[in-house]
Chain A
Amino acid sequence: NAGVTQTPKFQVLKTGQSMTLQCAQDMNHEYMSWYRQDPGMGLRLIHYSVGAGITDQGEVPNGYNVSRSTTEDFPLRLLSAAPSQTSVYFCASSYGQAYGYTFGSGTRLTVV
């Protein structure tokens, strides 16, 4: 029972590079989301999806793209990395709000 799996765990990028953060869940959750965690800032919602083929923006979507072609996977793409995107990124999924949200272990991204 893997839960929510995020890869990679660590990544260093140069400014301007692009990359995809992977997120997969095996719990058949319809709802998936991406957050970023910055020191002293709590977690902020980047993008979310309520089911395959449906995505929407959260609080801080600029510089990120998402897609949801399957129920299991919800990748987050950085189009042109900037130092301001240095953060820890968490993927979360849920059956629904009454069940809470299950979080992955995070990807620590550094942009130099």
Chain B
Amino acid sequence: GEDVEQSLFLSVREGDSSVINCTYTDSSSTYLYWYKQEPGAGLQLLTYIFSNMDMKQDQRLTVLLNKKDKHLSLRIADTQTGDSAIYFCAEKRGGADGLTFGKGTHLIIQP
């Protein structure tokens, strides 16, 4: 099937905002998710957005959804060293079970 696309790497300075982008594939996707994976660990659900929303904010995290372009972004304000991880975008496609994941974006924090 078609891929969920993400950039492989993003490097930001500590204290700056990080913006991780994702392009998903199915216009009928109902839910879109962001997961965080630290080295050697499982995936931690950060946030999700329902397809009839265009923005969701949760403390330092802001999710923006552009359904027309099938584009999803995750903004992390005031990026800290603890935010260093791989971030996965995932979609719940209409009529499908399970999630379809992107390959993940490695967020690198520069001091």
User: Chain A: residues with CB nearer than 8 A to chain B?
Assistant: 4, 33, 35, 40-45, 48, 50, 56, 58-59, 90, 92, 97-98, 100-106
Contacts and interface: CB of A to CB of B under 8 A. Distances in A.
Q: Chain A interface mostly helix, strand, loop or mixed? A: strand
Nearest to A104: B42
Nearest to A33: B98
Q: Chain B interface mostly helix, strand, loop or mixed? A: strand
Contacts, number: 56
A56 B1 CA distance: 18
B33 interface: yes
Shortest 5 CB-CB contacts between residues of A and residues of B: A45-B98, A42-B101, A100-B45, A103-B42, A103-B43
Interface of B: 1, 4, 30-31, 33, 35, 41-45, 48, 50, 88, 90, 92, 97-104
B92 to A, nearest CB: 5
